[in-house]
Amino acid sequence: MHKLIIANWKMHYGPVKAGAWIRAFRRERLPKELEIAVAVPHVSLPAARASLGRAGVPLLAAQDVFWADEGAFTGEVSPAMLKEFGTSFCLVGHSERRAHLGETDEMVAKKAVALQKTGIRPVICIGETEAQRKKGEHLKVVRAELTAAIAGLKGDGQAPMVVAYEPVWAIGTGKSCSTEDAKQMHEAIRAVLVKKFGKLGEEIPVLYGGSVDTRNVADYLSTTNIDGVLVGGASLDPRQFGLLCRTAMPN
């Protein structure tokens, strides 16, 4: 299984800057052992797609989706709309959406099912707050979020999901999770996936996210059970992100 690195620009870069980023990143020398995707704002998907041309790297990802195919849902974007741009992945349940927009486990589950039906791989984001970790509730919280999110997903191998463990206290703070703590959490996540999907659960990529940068990415990717990383701020500069990708696979 190739390691997977997903860049999440969050609310950065409209169409002009998005196109420039893609063109610059295409000039970067990238390890063949990596699968690389970039999650761009909805308004920038057309420009990103156009700047990619026939290039296969990076793959396109979206940052959110609604669960209905169409209808009276002003301001929302459906999985079918994302599919028109050749979107390969879509984030769901990111902690920023849970915190600022009230996104619930039920909503995350509905979005994941809708994406799977459309053939887009949902990237299910889960993670505990600092207070929950201090109380020793981190494993319980993450297991519950994941169990709820995958409840309606099918394990037939069609458009398998990705899981991204992002401890809320590590996102954008510079306080990255230790590799030992990340390993423990990823083992717990893997156990939930295997219980739900059987052997397929062993093949679902489980990523780590939270203050990932060039200093720690290789350590995370060399840790058992970590199949890739979700990168935030360190992905905003295409050259620095290219360096991060090369650093991830030093051999």
Which residues are catalytically annotated? 94, 166
Which distant-in-sequence residues (6+ apart) come within 8 Å of 5 by Cβ?
34, 35, 36, 37, 228, 229, 231, 244, 245, 248
Helix (H, G, I), strand (E, B) or coil at 12: coil
Please check whether residue 79 is in contact with residue 116, taking contact to mean a CB–CB distance below 8 angstroms: no
- 35, 4 Cβ separation under 8 angstroms: yes
Residue with tokens 């002009």: 16
Q: Which two tokens stand for residue 44?
A: 């920038």
Instruction: Report yes or no: 153 and 161 within 8 Å, Cβ to Cβ.
Output: yes
